[in-house]
Structure 1
Amino acid sequence: MTRDGSDNPARPPAGVALCALADLADPGSKGFRFRQDSKMFAGFVVRVGAEIRGYVDSCPHAGWPLAAWDDRYLTREGDLILCGGHAALFRPLDGVCIAGPCADERLTQWPVAVVDGQVVTT
């Protein structure tokens, strides 16, 4: 399986509406899970101002999901993505790890865009 999940049949195709932009706090984050048969795809989106980014929900160091609680991908300050497993920190707009055991690695992008007020897969 590829790291970005592109060969995962549970990964949603382009054009799937994930949520309304208005439902995503600024800064904020929201996770999504998709299942097809025995396969699952997990991703999340983050919002910082007018910028939206999507990432595969998998720590580059350990492979486990990042959020310890639903939709809680950001630090309390909302300025960084936090891995709940070992407290690695990632910049929200490029996914680069700036602290922790995966320093200089990056989260895998999951392409998303805002179309007519909806966050959608691309």
Structure 2
Amino acid sequence: MTDAPPASERKRVWTTPAGVALCAEADIPDPGSRGFVLQIGEAFFHGFVVRKGGEVAGYVDRCPHQGFPLAVELDRYLVPDGSLILCSWHGAVFEPLSGACVGGPCAGARLTPWPVAAAGGIIRTA
């Protein structure tokens, strides 16, 4: 039996195959967000989905400022009123449906999109 490598040594991937069911659309409040970790072969993908105004958008869970995951608390990607995505580490804020950074240390940058779509009440990778 072998021990799994520490999280810091696990391989990361930045894309996922299309058609993977993530959750029911109703599982994410509107506005709301939810993080996902998918195992792709021997590597792991970290992303999150935002739901706002009946639309969904997905992003790689990595801030363009320094590459850290955005949330320090599970599924807490949005500011309390749900109007913006917040990087909890350095305070960068992003538009929820475009991923554009509108304030903070990476203003003008964008989150890396993760293609997702909602159909038939299910959110899937696209």
Q: TM-score, normalised by structure 2?
A: 0.86
- Which consecutive unaligned segments of at least 5 residues does structure 2 have? 1-11
Runs of 4+ in 1 over 3 A off after TM superposition: none
Q: Secondary structure at the match of 2:111?
A: coil
Are the counterparts in 1 of residues 16 and 40 from structure 2 also a CA contact under 8 Å? no
Question: Partners in 2 of 1:11 and 1:102 — Cα distance?
Answer: 22
Opposite residue 107 of structure 1, the aligned amino acid is L
Task: Answer yes or no: is 1:45 the counterpart of 2:45.
Answer: no
Map Cα deviations across residues 16-54 of structure 1 (whole Å, 9 max, x no partner): 000100111010000000234652210000011111000
> CA separation in 2, counterparts of 1:102 and 1:59?
9
SS of 2:62 mapped into structure 1? coil
Partners in 2 of 1:88 and 1:100 — Cα distance?
4
Q: Tell whether 2:119 aligns with 1:110.
A: no
Superposed, which structure 2 residues align to 1:21-32 within 5 Å? 21-32=25-36
Hey, what does 2:105 align to over in structure 1? 101
Q: How big is each residue's C-alpha offset from its partner over 1:71-103, in whole Å with a ceiling of 9 and x where there is no partner?
A: 000001110000011011000010011111100
Mapped partners of 1:49, 1:20: distance in 2: 16
Would you say the 8 A contact 1:11–1:34 is kept in 2?
A: no
- How many residues align? The count is 115
Unpaired segments of 5 or more residues in structure 1? 1-6
Separation (CA, whole Å) in 2 of partners of 1:64 and 1:26: 25
In structure 1, what is the equivalent of residue 73 of structure 2? 69
What's the CA shift for 1:12? 3.1
Q: Residue 21 of structure 2 aligns with which residue?
A: 17
CA distance in 1, matches of 2:15, 2:96: 21
Aligned-pair identity in percent equals 56
| In 1, Cα distance between equivalents of 2:43 and 2:111 | 21
How far apart, CA to CA, are the structure 2 residues paired with 1:109 and 1:56? 6
